[in-house]
Amino acid sequence: MTRLRICLVVIAASLVTACGGNQAMFNPQGPPARSIASLGWLLLTVCAAIYVVVIAVAAWALLRRRDDADGLPQTTRRLTTAVIAATGVSIAILVVFTVSSVFAGRGLTSPTGPGAITVDVIGHQWWWEFQYRDVTPSDFVTSPNELHIPVGVPVHIKAMSRDVIHSFWVPNLHGKRDLIPGQVTNTWIQADTPGTYRGQCAEYCGHQHANMAFVVVAEPRDRFLSWIGQQRQPAAEPQSDEARRGRDIFLQSPCMMCHTIRGTTAGARLGPELTHVGSRMTIAAGTLPNTRGHLGGWVANAQTIKPGVRMPPNPLDPSDLQAVLTYLRSLR
């Protein structure tokens, strides 16, 4: 009995730890995730109960004392009735599951509402490009690997891929949606509490699938709009000599062949846009904190951090590297 109790405690503890935390589906922070989590609790508790009952009946069937009445026809009839009853109960439970799933699914269709926005999600190997379109094309905002959304409104996601199949997934906010090259898929998310939520690619996409994460920042609408306004600005002018030297080195190095910094002559679209790289919470597709040290390591040799990633090593002189870092970190 004590062993059974220990087992139950371990199972309960692990279930509880599953509930908390970033990137956990049972820590919903918005309506679609909440609806899925409720459905999940229903399914899991009913299934757990079924499992306990079935195992208990099987154990009883195995261990019971046999008697001579076992061979009689009425025993066979009683067993038949039991099997039919169990099948009937199973069918009823499955019908309940199916109906509740269908209704939950219908409730997940993309809503519209005042203040709803649309974000284009473009998947690359192995980073995310979030694009906020506008009536004026020059006001488009591209934010790599960091998705800001206003709190409390539906955010319509239009998902596309530039290369292979990826999957956009923020467990705290909704289920996943695949990004399939050749077509546009749609989903939506909504966060009701301000906060930072981690998302990750959920469809195997090559070498660095494991490290293709992103961050969703849900903030009040005015903060969101001011963020959009700030992101619309071209790159900040460097204020120090070192930063100016860093910009020159950037524009004379392989960096400008892949990265855009709006307001300079660097306009390539292969890699993430760096116009406001200093303001990001993470770099390297959500896998490294945006600190000077991590940025330096990434710029110097991204291959040692994420082998196979598209960014080549950049063997700069140490002082040049420091200048570039100063410049990049000034781009808020």
Partner 1 sequence: MNGRTRRIVIAAMGAILAAGCEREVRPFQDVSASSSRSQKPALTQLFPGGQPAPSADESPYQNNAYAMAEGKRLFDAYNCSGCHAHGGGGMGPALMDDQWIYGSRPANIFDTIIEGRPNGMPSFRNRIPDQQVWQLVAYVQAMSGLAPIDVLPGRSDHMRYSTPENARRAETPKLTGHP
Partner 2 sequence: MEEKALNESEERYEPVERYEPTPDVTADSRLREQLERAWYVPTGLIGWFSVVDHRTIGKRYIVTAFCFFIFAGLLAALMRIQLAVPNNHFLGPDLYNQVFTTHGTIMMFLFAVPVMEAMGIYLVPLMVGARNIAFPRLNVFSYFVYLFGGVMLVTTMLLNTAPDVGWFAYTPLSGPDFAPGKRADFWAQMITFTEVSGLAVAVELVATIFKTRAPGMSLNRMPLFVWSMLVTSFMVIFAMPSVVTASAILLLDRLVGTQFYNPAEGGDNLLWQHLFWFFGHPEVYIIFVPALGMVSSIIATFTQRPVFGYTAMVISLVATGFIGFGLWVHHMFATGLPQLGLTYFTAASMVIAIPSGVQIFCWIASLWRGRPRFHTPLLFVLGFIAIFVLGGLSGVTLASVPFDLQVHDTYYVVAHFHYVLLGGAVFPLIGGIYYWFPKMTGRMMDDALGKVSFWVLFLGFNITFFPMHILGFEGMPRRVYTYPAELGWGTLNLIASIGAGLLVVGGVLLVYNVVRSYTSGAIATDNPWNADTLEWGTSSPPPVYNFLHIPVVEGRNALWDRSEEQPVVVGIRSDCREVLVTDVMDAEPSNKCSYPEPTVWPFLCAVVTSLFFIGSIFTPWSVPAAILPLAVTLIGWFWPKSESADAPGVRKPLKDAA
- Under the binding rule (CB under 8 A), the answer on residue 80 touching partner 2 is yes
Q: Which of 116, 228, 236, 256 binds partner 1 (CB under 8 A)?
A: 256
Alpha carbons 133 and 117: distance in angstroms, whole number: 9
Backbone angles phi, psi at 29, to 5 degrees: -125, 15
- Interactions with partner 2, residue window 298-327 (CB under 8 A): 307-308
Q: Which does 145 bind (CB under 5 to 8 A by kind): partner 1, partner 2, none?
A: none
210 makes contact with partner 2 (CB under 8 A): yes
Q: Which is closer to partner 2, CB of 207 or CB of 269? A: 207
Query: Which residue's CB is nearer to partner 1, number 240 or number 303?
Result: 303
Q: Among 115, 289, 293, 313, which residue sits at the site for partner 1 (rule: CB under 8 A)? A: 313
Minimum CB separation from partner 1 for residue 177, in Å? Answer: 21
Decide: is 258 part of the binding site for partner 2 (CB under 8 A).
no
User: Which range in 25-33, 167-175, 212-220, 248-256 contacts partner 1 by CB under 8 A?
Assistant: 248-256
The b/e string for 236-274 (b: 16+ C-beta within 10 A; e otherwise) is: bebeeebbbbbbebbeeeebbebbbbbebebeeeebbbb
Are the beta carbons of 162 and 269 closer than 8 angstroms? no
Reference 203, options 175, 170, 171, 178; nearest CA is 178
**Shortest CA distance to 200 belongs to which of 118, 126, 297, 148?**
126
149 makes contact with partner 2 (CB under 8 A): no
Find, among 122, 295, 316, the residue nearest to 212 by Cα: 122
Binding site for partner 1 (CB under 8 A): 163, 181, 207, 252-254, 256-258, 270, 301, 303-304, 307-308, 312-315
